[in-house]
Amino acid sequence: MHIFRRVDSLAAILLIILFFTPWLRVVDGESVNTAWGINVPDVAVTFGEVAGTPERPVIDAYLVILIPIFALLFVIQTFRNVEARGLGLVTALLPLGFLLLLWLRVGQDYFAALYVGFWLSQLAALLMLFALVGDLAIARAIDTVSTTVGKVMFWTSLVMVLIGVYNVITRYLGTRIGIQLSSNVYLELQTYAYNLIFLLGAPYVLMKNSHVRIDILTDRLSHKGKAIIDIFGAVLLLVPLCLLSIYFSQSYIATSFRQLETSPNPGGLLRYPIKFIIIVAFVMLILQGVSETIKNLAFVRGVPNSGSMHELPPEVNEPKITEQTEVI
Amino acid sequence: MLGLWMFAAAVVILLMGYPVAFSLGGTAVLFTLIGSDLLPTIFGITLPWAPEGVVMGERLFRVARLNALPQGIFGSIMDNYTLVAVPFFVFMGVMLEKSGLAEELLETMGILFGRLRGGLAISVVTIGALLAASTGVVGASVVTMGVLALPVMLKYNYDKGIATGVVASSGTLGQIIPPSIVLVILGDQIGVSVGDLFLGSFIPGFMLAGLFILWVIFVAFTKPDDVPALPEDARKVEPANVSIFVKIALMILSFALFYLIASAIVSLILPTVTFFEANQAVLPNTLHEFIAVIGLLVLYVRYWNAPLFFKVVSNLLPPFFLIIVVLATIFFGIATPTEAGAMGAVGAMILAAINRRLSLENLNEAMDQTVRLTSMVFVILIGATVFTLVFRALGGDRVITNFLLDLPGGSAGFLFFSMLIIFLLGFFIDFIQITFIVVPILTPIAVQVIGADPRLSQIFSVVGTSGTPFFNEQLALLWFGVIIAMNLQASFLTPPFGFALFYLKGVAPPSVQTTDIYRGIIPFIAIQLVALLLIIFFPQIVLWLPAMAR
């Protein structure tokens, strides 16, 4: 049976099975709910959160039913030997989108109620996505995003310098002529620029292998050995760190969002967008970690042009002196 | 106890060679899983080593403590005005490097000092100090000096050992000579004003450079063949075609520079006169200033057509001016370090433009390096924040504090031991990690220990309004910060793992062996340690300038 040899259709079958496993756990009682019995307002009340109010019916709770339907259609199409990429993509993206919806709606407490079936179905969805798109294509797409954001940060650093100079000049002129010229807006813009540079620049820096390492012991390893260390590092260190940070940041940031927090300084800027950037940065770091892992795995397997940083000759992280003048 | 295991695990994981920031944070996640009630409460898993589960025994900490993490990231890293200075100084440093400043300085200084034995080495140290005063990125200046100066020194038969020693040690001067990124981060972590820290490390930094030069002179007398003078034809100056506008511009610039220095000195000598007052008084307001201005004028008229003079002036003045402006504005409280950094960054761009080096390519490179270095530093800070949070929750800081407080020998024992820790850690890990992890633990203990020592607490006391002297924590921490910076610098040079040595080996010509580098660096490490001891025994070296500026 050729459908069992294809990773994407296997993932679709997995999605159908997992749909009937327990997704939710009610902490006080003993009952576990499958995706069938999912009821967002009930769970939210259990956790004392304000989510979907009774007047506003929660539609997304019923959207989950689409997951097994689409997956089934996909399996049937594969069985009939029909190429069904679009259908597969939708099937793979549904659980991921559902996670996002839940998170946006209920927040941190919901994660405590999610049971193993939910997480496994997320993994199955990711697997399906990888199989459909081709893993290196995903890595390239993530790299493109990181590079683009990194390049934007380049110019942010220049803008930051200009804002800094503007701040100095206005403050100095202001004290000289006795008029308040400087404003908190530009001071905070300067700080925000600095935040953006180091938060959103981090995935780019990871991609370029410019995060400092202590490689005195591992320096003599082969390129493959280094790639293996990077795979383990990303899976065991980078991604858990980012997940932990996201988990413990979200209620803090959600509070800021709910209050539409602004800076306490007079004339200050909005605060909640920059706090949200923390989560964006960690998500981007996770994605970049996934991308590095995919590339390193391909490199270890011996795929040519994997794009792994260990495949390229090590990038010389030193200033290039344009002309080596023959001094004296 | 778990805290100490965590520290040990962190060291092992760090040595695996995955990026430091994520290694630190990942270790923290691991020990959150082991040592907190995260798994029992949220996932309902009973931990075999803590079967009591959610009940708070001695073994598990409440995972809710980690709710302080986002406030730690936002409050102390993101919403921090002082740390904004870091990208500015990085930008300034990289831009200055791209401006071709170091090459021209080396050329000019070589012509000036080349006739002396050891003159080339002296000029390398001087340029190292000047570059240090303008950048503060260690790796970059070692590489620049290694690429530029090392081949020249070897070409004129300098001993390989002394050549590499001079380059490595003067390249690392950027650690201690302000404005340096190390000092900005250190000041933030210790809780001392960065401006004060800059002031405090000014004299120690230049003292160190002076000691290096003295050593070179000593070598020139004892082993003349190691540091030969340059041959006559190597010191020729080609007559430069300097236009009259450039000459006049340089003249005005040198007046401005002179005037800045003069008013700085006046305000330092006369404590009642502030820098502003000295600056705003009618020019030239005192007799000696007047004489000096006349002298400068005579100098310019006399050498109006001398090529060497204008070469020296045009190469030395602009960077010197930039450094003085950046440092003086910080020292005299005109600008905060952040503001001075912004001005310095633009100044470096202007300087590069004057040298016709402000191409899109160079600008791009400067922005790239700024993003990379800034992100690297602060992502490590995020990782270290997570690490420290979990480390404290596990009670690791209490163990270390108790250990350090129980050391024999009082303040001397503590200082010796803490400096030893930093020195040894400096072999393996970067200054950034040391500053973010070790320094916050040491700082409160340092205050306690120094305050308890009658001799030291007297040195660091100020006379209050009531007329009785009292112990000033800020002064003690200022001194502590400078000796940490000095110590870190020495550990960068120490074989076998000194960072500066790695960088240097990377760019040195193949004829230079690793053993040459190790052999050459030893006297400079000894000098570093002498300087460190001098600062420890005479804290006034650190305290004098901040006290004058106040």
B13 CB-side CA count, 13 A: 27
What ipTM is given for this predicted complex? 0.83
Q: Are A218 and B29 an interchain contact pair (Cβ–Cβ within 8 Å)?
A: no
**Dist. CA A59–CA A52, nearest whole Å:** 9
pLDDT at B276: 57
- H or E element that contains B469: strand B469-471
Contact A29/B at CB under 8 A: no
Which distant-in-sequence residues (6+ apart) come within 8 Å of B214 by Cβ?
Answer: none
Q: Assess whether pLDDT exceeds 50 at residue A319.
A: no
Among partner residues B14, B70, B383, which is closest to A253 by beta-carbon distance?
B70
pLDDT at A29: 47
pLDDT at A109: 60
| Token digits of residue B510 | 């193949």
Chain A neighbors of B32, CB-CB under 8 A: 244
- E strands in A46-190: none
Q: Assess whether pLDDT exceeds 60 at residue B281.
A: no
Q: Which residue is associated with the tokens 């901040």?
A: B546
pLDDT category at B52 given cuts 50, 70, 90 is low
Chain A neighbors of B80, CB-CB under 8 A: 191
Chain A neighbors of B79, CB-CB under 8 A: 191
Q: Each residue of A263-290: b (16+ CB within 10 Å) or e?
A: beeeeebebbebbebbbebbebbbbbbb
Contact A195/B at CB under 8 A: yes
Q: Are A165 and B18 an interchain contact pair (Cβ–Cβ within 8 Å)?
A: no
Would you give the distance in Å from CA A147 to the centre of its chain?
Answer: 15
**Dist. CA A282–CA A293, nearest whole Å:** 16
pLDDT at B332: 73
Size of chain B in residues: 550
Per-residue pLDDT tens over the stretch A304-316 = 777 788 876 544 4
Q: Give B378→chain A minimum CA distance, Å.
A: 6
Residue A270 pairs with which residues in a beta bridge? A262
Contact A218/B at CB under 8 A: yes
- CA proximity to B525, closest of B220, B148, B164, B128: B164
What sign does the CA torsion over B154, B157, B159, B162 have? negative
Contact A282/B at CB under 8 A: no
What sign does the CA torsion over B463, B468, B474, B477 have? positive
Q: Are A327 and B152 an interchain contact pair (Cβ–Cβ within 8 Å)?
A: yes
Chain B neighbors of A252, CB-CB under 8 A: 67, 70-71, 74
Looking at per-residue pLDDT, the higher value among B547 and B17 belongs to B17
H-only helix segments in B99-243: 101-113, 119-134, 138-155, 160-171, 181-190, 194-222
**Dist. CA B367–CA B94, nearest whole Å:** 9
Would you give the distance in Å from CA B422 to the centre of its chain?
Answer: 16
pLDDT at B266: 65
Q: Are A112 and B377 an interchain contact pair (Cβ–Cβ within 8 Å)?
A: no
Q: Which residue is associated with the tokens 């220049």?
A: A158
Chain A neighbors of B343, CB-CB under 8 A: 164-165, 168
Among partner residues B234, B339, B386, which is closest to A241 by beta-carbon distance?
B386
Give this prediction's pTM.
0.81
Q: Are A248 and B374 an interchain contact pair (Cβ–Cβ within 8 Å)?
A: no
Contact A1/B at CB under 8 A: no
CB B148 within 8 A of CB A327: yes
Which distant-in-sequence residues (6+ apart) come within 8 Å of B243 by Cβ?
Answer: none
Q: Assess whether pLDDT exceeds 80 at residue B305.
A: no
pLDDT at B64: 83
Per-residue pLDDT tens over the stretch B495-509 = 766 777 877 887 788
Give the other-Cβ count within 10 Å of B462's Cβ: 12
Q: Are A164 and B16 an interchain contact pair (Cβ–Cβ within 8 Å)?
A: no
Q: Are B343 and A165 an interchain contact pair (Cβ–Cβ within 8 Å)?
A: yes
**Dist. CA B146–CA B516, nearest whole Å:** 14
Looking at per-residue pLDDT, the higher value among A103 and B344 belongs to B344
What angle in degrees, to the nearest 10, is found between the helix axes of B540-549 and B473-492? 130
Q: Are B372 and A210 an interchain contact pair (Cβ–Cβ within 8 Å)?
A: yes
Size of interface A-B (CB pairs under 8 A): 238
Q: Using CA coordinates, name the residue in chain A closest to B108.
A: A328
Among partner residues B17, B88, B110, which is closest to A328 by beta-carbon distance?
B110
Mean pLDDT of B291-296: 70
Average pLDDT of the residues of chain B: 81
pLDDT at A320: 43
Q: Each residue of B72-87: b (16+ CB within 10 Å) or e?
A: bbbeebbbbebbbbbb
Per-residue pLDDT tens over the stretch B319-333 = 777 877 788 777 777
pLDDT at A48: 39
- E strands in chain A: 22-25, 32-34
Q: Which residue is associated with the tokens 């995060």?
A: A211
**Dist. CA B259–CA B252, nearest whole Å:** 10
**Dist. CA B374–CA B168, nearest whole Å:** 24
Looking at per-residue pLDDT, the higher value among A271 and B101 belongs to A271
Q: Are B14 and A191 an interchain contact pair (Cβ–Cβ within 8 Å)?
A: no
Q: Are A168 and B28 an interchain contact pair (Cβ–Cβ within 8 Å)?
A: no
Q: Which B positions 90-119 lie with beta carbon below 8 A of chain A?
A: 91, 94, 97-98, 100, 103, 106-107, 110-111, 114
CA angle centred on B521, ends B518 and B523, rounded to 5°: 130
Contact A65/B at CB under 8 A: no
Would you give the distance in Å from CA A122 to the centre of its chain?
Answer: 14
pLDDT category at A41 given cuts 50, 70, 90 is very low
